[in-house]
């Protein structure tokens, strides 16, 4: 089996593949202070919870946007299952044609998501990752990575709003019940953040079509904050929570 891990700023998402089938998935909190031993304990607990053994794993691939913990987590995988991890970065074949100013600067998470989209969805395609940051990647009809836009994530926007405005409280990201506005402070903030993000995504897709001069055939949405946002988007879309893990699986198979 193959262990895939995407290390993000908020969470580490882990998937265990048996061939092309994602058998198990788990999510750990990203903790920059943890040691390799501590992460290895987390992996062991995850395996017990999902009822598989470390000896079943014969390969591993990691993508990371948190370089300060990449080494510790790779070491933790080795401690857990005695497997050396492939780390997505320069020198790893992805099959993705990247046409940006400096392809080496493209985040590993964006590469993994784009690879999965090229292999599974109709092009041109927009890949939206609603995580710590809101990232919108553009793939043209040849599957070329054309670029992306990056905005503050939903949670960051909400926390900054509460911290910067004395009379606005810290609230949960519950889905608003009203169409576009609230009748109290909490509902108003929920409407602004959640519905505002959904409108932004629809509007950005419109502008991307104008820039490409082509109709977008697929909008693929992933990320930890996606579920509460996508039901308010007017554009047709596909929700794929395991998009990055699938991209890592594909990339691993290209390099063995």
pLDDT digits (tens, 9 = 90+) for 23-77: 999 999 999 999 999 999 999 999 999 888 899 999 999 999 999 999 999 999 9
Q: Considering the domain boundaries, does residue 92 fall inside one? A: no
Answer whether residue 228 is part of any domain.
yes
All residues at 6 or more sequence positions from 42 whose CB lies less than 8 Å from its CB, including other chains:
28, 34, 76
Reported as a single tens digit per residue, the pLDDT across 157-211 is 888 888 888 777 777 766 656 678 888 888 888 888 888 999 999 999 999 999 9
Number of domains in the chain: 2
The reply to whether 127 falls in a domain is yes
Pick the last residue of a domain from 87, 113, 131: 87
Which one is catalytic: 6, 42, 109, 129? 109
- At 160 the pLDDT is 85
Average pLDDT over residues 131-148: 96
- Does residue 245 surpass a pLDDT of 70? yes
Structure tokens at 177: 């019940």
Catalytic: 56? no
Evaluate whether residue 235 is within a structural domain. Answer: yes
Residue span of the structural domain in which 58 resides: 2-87
Residues 83 and 107 reside in one and the same domain:
no
Q: Which pLDDT score is estimated for 189?
A: 83
């Amino acid at each position: 089996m193959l262990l895939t891990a995407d290390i993000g700023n908020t969470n580490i998402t882990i998937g265990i593949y048996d061939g092309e089938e994602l058998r198990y998935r788990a999510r750990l909190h990203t903790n920059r202070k943890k040691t390799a031993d501590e992460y290895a304990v987390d992996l062991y607990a995850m395996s017990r919870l999902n009822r598989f053994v470390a000896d079943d794993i014969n390969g591993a691939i990691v993508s990371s946007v948190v370089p300060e913990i990449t080494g510790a987590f790779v070491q933790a995988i080795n401690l857990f299952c005695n497997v050396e991890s492939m780390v997505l970065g320069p020198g790893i074949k992805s099959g993705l044609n990247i046409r940006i100013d400096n392809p080496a600067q493209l985040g590993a998470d964006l590469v993994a998501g784009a690879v999965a989209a090229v292999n599974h969805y109709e092009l041109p395609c927009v890949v939206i990752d609603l995580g710590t940051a809101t990232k919108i990647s553009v793939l043209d009809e040849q599957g070329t990575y054309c670029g992306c836009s990056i905005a503050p994530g939903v949670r960051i926007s909400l926390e900054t709003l509460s911290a910067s405005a004395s009379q606005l409280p810290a609230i949960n990201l519950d889905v608003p019940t009203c169409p576009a506005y609230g009748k109290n402070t909490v509902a108003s903030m929920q409407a602004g953040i959640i519905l505002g993000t959904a409108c932004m995504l629809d509007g950005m897709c419109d502008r991307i079509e104008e820039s490409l001069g082509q109709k977008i055939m697929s909008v693929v949405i992933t990320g930890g904050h996606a579920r509460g946002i996508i039901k308010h988007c007017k554009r047709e879309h596909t929700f794929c929570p395991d998009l990055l893990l699938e991209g890592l699986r594909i990339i691993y198979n290209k390099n063995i």
